[in-house]
Structure 1
């Protein structure tokens, strides 16, 4: 994780959600797996794994402990006010959607139903009081269900973080930690799933981003568009996977991801600021989380296996799910 920032800097602008700015076709044929799983992809994954394992190794050293202690000190106020910040930012998000009108949760999910905007304003109002947070959570779940009904489950697989935010608000409002699972843990996992799915989409549909790369060729840092999109996906997938790994690794990953999303706002403007505000505040909350479990050599040894399993699972879910929903059994992907 320590060696990743230099590569991350080059992919910051690629983190703008391409569906908000470019034409896309979810039902279109994705890039073949034989083209995705190429030697360049394998080298990128190998480098990412080395960084991940290096972060795990550091965590068990005095330097890793010192970094954790420093993060604890720097993020004290953020940690104390995480719940309040989530409510404020979510309130900003839903008021912005009400103001824009004709949108269900994200810019590309359009609707002609005027009542949706007013529901989103109502959700913002419910965020003012702790007792009404579960009501706001129900509203978010309802909107997610409406969007799924309208645009399909495969499209909404991009956004499970909304369900995580809803769960966070409900559990916070009710002061519940079911089975010892904290609200921040729930939203952390859904954020990781959201970003890992988005990473696969970068590999499956690199052509969606082609207009952005053509308009801003400096983004690629001299690399070919194909290599750039593979690298952007691998970096995003690795940082997203790190969110569910050891404490120092996930906190550093959250900081890097938050920095990437914030930097993209300067390039892509208000739409990106509104659309990504929810996940940015979640990432800041993860960075401030001081829960610790002792890192061991087992974490280092198992990192490649779990990473590989996650990568294979998301590739399979994406490609097989797409083939079943938009194609036939005859179009199931082969390597």
Structure 2
């Protein structure tokens, strides 16, 4: 492969998540317009799906080699020392994220505006309880968060709120602290965050015109690719990141990469991006610290390399198809 082509592919990988990680609904006024399923399942889409599935299958076998890179094992052990702070980071990080939101006049996400005084009071009550260093106060705060989330769910619809399913995982982690179910908390956080990223990625395939509007409005470079193909590629990147978090591949490396990419999106989309993704930054920080120390990845259920590769290949295609069909059916 020519050096210029390598540079182009690297630039594409770096820039496409700028669109992928930007929540479409926050930055466009264009009404969602669903395109025909035949248009989504283009030849490019099918070929990319197969190539990515094959790449992920091979990637699952190269992970042990990463630990042989000089300095990687040392960094890994150093990060292990901070695991004892993970729950505190989530607790106080959630409080900090909620402060940004309530000051901005929103709840959970920039699209959910505070309309009533009791909502502001409830947001501040959650913040204060999270700042109290006692697990009972944290549990009360998580129950209040769940109540507020379900209230928003009641008028926004379950389909819409699946974009923010990771909040249910956060609530779950805070709620089971200091209980016999505590060890199940962070694996649930991995699962909830990964599935949320996959779900949001599908939106860009089903409603591509909203993302095209963002590209034109913010003058995002497409590196010579047609906007339609660029959107397909960017959505695949986001979907793959979510999938890898779920199956437990490259968790720390992914968390670092996605954190950097979220910082880049802030340069384009500004303060709304900061408020909207502050909570995700906290979750990614926890992933950087924890790795998969507490998580038994599904890929590890299979012992031989060939079985693991087949599992990753077929499972990716199954998950991709399931998400796309469910989203398209109910969109």
TM-score (norm 1): 0.85
Residues 107 and 271 in structure 1, CA contact (< 8 A), matched pair in contact too: yes
| Structure 2 residue matching 1:109: 3-state secondary structure | strand
Over the aligned positions, Cα root-mean-square deviation in angstroms equals 2.3
Residues 98 and 118 in structure 1, CA contact (< 8 A), matched pair in contact too: no
**Which one of the candidate residues 76, 87, 92 is aligned to 1:88?**
92
> Alpha-carbon deviation of 1:186?
0.7
Counterpart of 1:333 in structure 2 is: none
> Alpha-carbon deviation of 1:279?
1.5
Residue-pair matches, total: 311
Contiguous gaps of at least 5 residues in structure 2: 1-8
Counterparts of 1:161-200 in structure 2 under 5 Å? 161-172=166-177, 174-177=178-181, 181-200=183-202
Counterpart of 2:4 in structure 1 is: none
| Structure 2 residue matching 1:220: 3-state secondary structure | coil
Residues 202 and 235 in structure 2, CA contact (< 8 A), matched pair in contact too: yes
Cα separation, partners in 2 of 1:159 and 1:69, compared to 1, 3 Å: same
Counterpart of 2:126 in structure 1 is: 123
Distance 2:166 2:194 in 1: 8
Distance 2:126 2:192 in 1: 21
> Alpha-carbon deviation of 1:137?
1.0
> Alpha-carbon deviation of 1:71?
4.7
**Which one of the candidate residues 98, 104, 108 is aligned to 2:102?**
98
Cα separation, partners in 2 of 1:24 and 1:134, compared to 1, 3 Å: farther
Cα separation, partners in 2 of 1:50 and 1:287, compared to 1, 3 Å: farther
Task: Please say if 1:42 is aligned against 2:43.
Answer: no
Task: Please say if 1:18 is aligned against 2:24.
Answer: yes
> Alpha-carbon deviation of 1:7?
4.1
> Alpha-carbon deviation of 1:121?
1.1
Deviation track 1:35-63 (CA, whole Å, cap 9, x = no partner) reads: 1111111232233223312321112x4x2
| Structure 2 residue matching 1:108: 3-state secondary structure | strand
Counterpart of 2:228 in structure 1 is: 226
| Structure 2 residue matching 1:244: 3-state secondary structure | helix
Cα separation, partners in 2 of 1:272 and 1:69, compared to 1, 3 Å: same
| Structure 1 residue matching 2:163: 3-state secondary structure | coil
> Alpha-carbon deviation of 1:24?
4.8
Cα separation, partners in 2 of 1:276 and 1:296, compared to 1, 3 Å: farther
Counterpart of 1:331 in structure 2 is: none
Distance 1:44 1:269 in 2: 32
